[in-house]
A and B are shown apart, each in its own frame.
Chain A
Amino acid sequence: MPARDATSIAWFRSVGAIFMKDWRSELRTRYAISALLMFVVTTISIILFSLGSESARPEVLCGMLWVVIFFSAMSGLSRTFVMEEERGTSMTLQLTARGSAVYVGKLLFNTVLVTGLDVLTVALYALLINGFVIKTFSIFLVIVLLGGLGFAAAATIIAAIIARASTKGTLYPVLSFPILLPLVLTVINGTRLASDGAFFEEAYGEFQILISYIVVVIAVSVLVFDYVWKD
């Protein structure tokens, strides 16, 4: 079926084009990157100040790592869609690309952003906070990668929703939290396993939950995205 091949190639092209467009405009303005960076630095220093000279238990530190990541992600990820509304470019995007291509393009961009955020947060966290140790690195790596993708998947569709609402900033964490909670609990659990030095096989349950969460959220998002996106 040559016609169908042509459209699917066009679809992949528009996904790539949307990703590159966001990437370039991000590099020009550095809005999201600087917001995320400052948020990570601020929250980690607050944790440092509040800990003082005490050292918290590793389980608490594992949880706090994801608190930092959750709120930092909430400060920057809505940007991809809010930006389109503010600049008035969403109409043009609606005309030039299919809804699913827009969602997947933005999802890729947010995934890159979250993964960068994860790496940065973990690096700063490991450097600055005493008592945070990861004994099973393989579990931690898989948890961070899958967790990042899951975060991006849910955050992208919620961002598309709140871009249409009038109070964009405050609503984003409110809407995202109940959706992201199963993911957050699972990644915290996985990080604890990694910090306790569990075997890789012990975290299979966490991986299963994360993968099914990602699949379900992305599938449903692609299905309903047009209702949010199209006027």
Chain B
Amino acid sequence: MRLTLGIWMTAVVVLAILLPMVPQPQHWYEFPVVGGLGEKARIIFFHVPTAWLSFLAFVASMVYGIKYLRKRNPDDDLKSSTAAGLGFLFCFLATVTGSIWAKFSWGSFWNWDPRETSIFVLLLIYGAYFALRSAVEVEEKRASLSAVYSIIAAVTMPFFMFVMPRVLASLHPDPIINTQGKVYMNATMLVVFLSSLAGFTGLYYWIFTIQVRIRRMESLSIHHEGELKRA
């Protein structure tokens, strides 16, 4: 899995950066120019997958949280917090890549665009989630409280979709992925984009399984040490 993933991601990165962008693509290896963005449009191959993963990990964390509340299996809590940790990482990456892009497209690193505000709130929620986890010592209590918090956060997040447009107009480009469901990419660009999305999701899954295994062993060894001390 590791080798396939490595080759896949290398191919995606190389293609995404090297393939030329031309106004009228004639050959299969050329990307179309996206209106007003120029070469800066290449961020879509890296920024969108990280943003997608920060959202996916948030949902995964909540689903494992709900599973924990139903079955009371500590392993689900472990998965829930691992997913949240990865989500925080990807959320941070999406924020940083987006912010660098915004500096060169909009002229400032941060200007409270609705998208920037939503990702900022997602970062805050992740931060609050970990602050809560570190403040509760009893394991079962920590698991159920953080699960409940992620559920409440998840049901209030969609309100931003209604609230933000009333407060500010967005400058975030959506010529590529938009509400009308039109795709302005040519076939090559779409393939590279979807491969990048798949590759990043695979990367997430790979890190997730490793992390879960490490933390299972850690919790086992802690229990083991406890038993040794008691004996």
Contact = CB atoms under 8 A, between A and B. Distances in A.
Interface in A169-196: 171, 174-175, 177-179, 181-183, 185-186, 189
Interface stretch (B14-22, B91-99, B126-134): B126-134
Contact of B125 (A165, A167, A178, A224): A178
B45 to A, nearest CB: 29
B201 interface: no
B185 interface: no
16 contacts: A157-B152, A161-B148, A161-B149, A162-B132, A164-B145, A167-B135, A171-B131, A171-B132, A178-B128, A178-B153, A178-B156, A189-B166, A220-B151, A224-B69, A224-B151, A227-B147
- Among A162, A178, A206, max chain B CB count under 10 A is at A178
Contacts of A174: 127-128, 131
Given A181-B121, A185-B163, A189-B166, A216 B128 contact: no
- Among A174, A175, A205, max chain B CB count under 10 A is at A175
B110 interface: no
A111 interface: no
A169 to B, nearest CB: 11
A224 B147 CA distance: 10
Contacts of B121: 178, 181
A112 interface: no
Interface residues of B, number: 29
B160 interface: yes
Contacts, number: 87
Contacts of A209: 159, 162-163
Interface stretch (B26-34, B73-81, B100-108, B136-144): B136-144
Interface in A21-72: none
A213 B156 CA distance: 7
A214 to B, nearest CB: 11
Given A213-B156, A216-B156, A217-B152, A175 B132 contact: yes
A157 B11 CA distance: 48
B153 A179 contact: yes
Interface in A127-154: 154
Interface of B: 69, 121, 124-125, 127-128, 131-132, 135-137, 141, 144-145, 147-149, 151-153, 155-156, 159-160, 162-164, 166-167
B144 A166 contact: no
B132 A205 contact: no
Given A174-B128, A175-B131, A209-B159, A166 B148 contact: no
A19 B148 CA distance: 24
A205 B166 contact: yes
Contacts of B137: 166
